[in-house]
Structure 1
Amino acid sequence: MKILVTGASGNVGNYVVKELLKMGEKVVAAGTNTEKLQTMFDNKVEATKLDFTDRSTFKSALYEIDRVFLMRPPHLGKPEDLFPFIDAMKANNIKLVCFLSLMGVENNTIPPHHKIEKYIETLEIPFAHIRPGFFMENISGIHSVEIRERDEIFIPAGRSKTSFIASEDIGLSIAVALHTPELHKNTAYTITGGEALDYYQVAQIISKVTGRRIVYKKPGFLKYRRYYIKKRGLDKSYVNVTVALYFMTRMGTAKKVTDEFYKLTGKRPKSFEAFVKENVLCFCSKP
């Protein structure tokens, strides 16, 4: 049988596919652009069209599938948007669904991930919830613009700490669970990096690696929200979600450090400094 990987072209899904291929698994990469997926993975995977808003794509996507990596596309804000596909997995007798969730979501009913976890459990589909801390790629991605252009980290996290983890490590965790489903049936793993950093420390590390003085500005929520909507031109609903997440971060929800990544994979998580060194060009202005 085969493993279906949703969001295969994304940061995490990309690593899930690559790790599963190393393990000798037959992988079906799902998305809306199958040609792109075939090219991404050098035709080493099958590619299938899957649109969570189009039920007609479900049957072919789940053909000969017995395990699924499920992630919620960012543009689908309501948990109910994924329920029809979860129903289809139940009807297909999936023996493990590995859902990409959030750290602390078991005690936080606000994010859509909470209801998605509960729906999977209610249907009694064998599950392995992966609950990572904040992605390191948040810094090298969405927040790298201010670092490159203004030598600033512009994030409303106050003095709170975050146990960042790399997408590469998240992908490996998911692949391990899917490769050995009998060992991970009805489990949940909170995976983090090996240390919790505040954004002053993040700025120091990026400064050290780039040789520039990077400053953490510590904006308030309203100033951050206005800047990202008015200046950066980002979608208001997306920015509101990030505000909510950073509010929770200030409450201490992102500082937890666990050893569950090591227990799951037998490896140590990548450090933030190693990540910055590998992705230093993301923080440097183009000449």
Structure 2
Amino acid sequence: MMKILVTGASGNVGSYVVNELIALNENVVAAGTNVSKLKDKFGDKIEPVYFDFTKPETFDEALKGVDRVFLMRPPHLGKPEDLYPFIDAVKKHEVKLLSFLSLMGVENNPIPPHHKIENYIEKSGIPFAHIRPGFFMQNISGVHSVEIVKLDQIFVPAGKSKTSFIDAADIGLAIATVLHDAKAHKNSTFTITGPEALTYDQVAEVLTKVTGRKITYARPSYLKYRNYYLKNRKLDKNYVNVTVALYFMTRMGTAKAVTDEFYLLTGKRPRTFEAFAREHKEIFIKN
């Protein structure tokens, strides 16, 4: 039985992809730079492998016996070219499907790195299935939860724009679904979103309801946000710049579309933000 390689396996989306594939009785090779972390997370249900996009010598071992691949761009690699050597290695291994975690609306937007990565995969001739989700709900429970907990504020420069947030668990299910049936989903694209588009004021209202504390949307400028994330949060400059670009696009209306493609692909309804916030309530509670 052939195997599926999952890059970024210990990350937000990757870990959901792994668990969904295990539930489908697939043989999973979980790839990452910290093998012991992968063993702790998944036990003996997976085959852990050391893998690093910046070390081509790790590629062949990771791809051994693999016929399908989930590709995820690590946040710290801002240049599309950083992923090309691995995509070339995948092509040499003649896989049945490469599923790439892309971004909603990226087909019409050359600014994010995902646009060039999608094009590179397609030009290489590898059978592909691009999954293009809206913004993750986990952005709010993850990187942005710090200000929610400490300051009772959502601190993102999204203006009055709307976002059709989707749970990373739902993204994981969608990716596992295409990888499980590679033939049916060859050379396809799916734009998947949550069931509704919310402003960040509405997100703050939901969090107020769930936590019982008054949470507000700070609506900072790009500059204020960028300075705060670099100086106060001390986050990587490339990462912060990519997020500024994404919020710029969000204000242009690129994040507000709501599709039914998740339901058509999986037969399930995507989770609402309120259901997500209740499920992960402890993250937003002050210690």
Post-superposition CA distance 1:152-177 (Å, at most 9, x none): 11111111000000000000000000
Post-superposition CA distance 1:212-261 (Å, at most 9, x none): 11111111111111222222222222212111111110000000000000
Aligned to 1:185: 186
Aligned to 2:208: 207
Residue correspondence of structure 1 range 113-262 to structure 2 within 5 A: 113-262=114-263
Structure 1, unaligned runs of 5 or more: none
Is contact 2:80-2:116 (8 Å) kept? yes
CA–CA distance in structure 2, aligned partners of residues 233 and 50 of structure 1? 26
Identity rate, percent? 68
Superposed CA RMSD: 0.8
CA–CA distance in structure 1, aligned partners of residues 159 and 271 of structure 2? 24
Report the AA paired with residue 51 of structure 1. Answer: D
4+ long deviations beyond 4 Å = none
Deviation at 1:29, TM superposition (A): 0.4
Deviation at 1:270, TM superposition (A): 0.5
CA–CA distance in structure 2, aligned partners of residues 236 and 16 of structure 1? 28
Aligned to 2:50: 49
TM-score of the pair, normalised by structure 1? 0.98
Post-superposition CA distance 1:128-154 (Å, at most 9, x none): 000000000110111111111111111
Residue correspondence of structure 1 range 103-114 to structure 2 within 5 A: 103-114=104-115
Matched, 1:283 2:284: yes
Aligned to 2:11: 10
CA–CA distance in structure 1, aligned partners of residues 130 and 178 of structure 2? 10
Is contact 2:13-2:168 (8 Å) kept? yes
Is contact 2:78-2:239 (8 Å) kept? no
Structure 2, unaligned runs of 5 or more: none
CA–CA distance in structure 1, aligned partners of residues 56 and 243 of structure 2? 30
Aligned to 2:271: 270
CA–CA distance in structure 1, aligned partners of residues 83 and 216 of structure 2? 40
Aligned to 1:84: 85
SS in 1 for 2:45: coil
CA–CA distance in structure 2, aligned partners of residues 41 and 170 of structure 1? 19
Report the AA paired with residue 170 of structure 2. Answer: D
Post-superposition CA distance 1:166-225 (Å, at most 9, x none): 000000000000000111000000000000000110000000010111111111111111
CA–CA distance in structure 2, aligned partners of residues 38 and 231 of structure 1? 34
Aligned to 1:27: 28
CA–CA distance in structure 2, aligned partners of residues 63 and 127 of structure 1? 19
CA–CA distance in structure 2, aligned partners of residues 147 and 35 of structure 1? 32
CA–CA distance in structure 1, aligned partners of residues 116 and 43 of structure 2? 36
CA–CA distance in structure 2, aligned partners of residues 240 and 72 of structure 1? 15
Report the AA paired with residue 255 of structure 1. Answer: K
Is contact 2:192-2:259 (8 Å) kept? yes
Aligned to 2:66: 65
CA–CA distance in structure 2, aligned partners of residues 156 and 235 of structure 1? 18
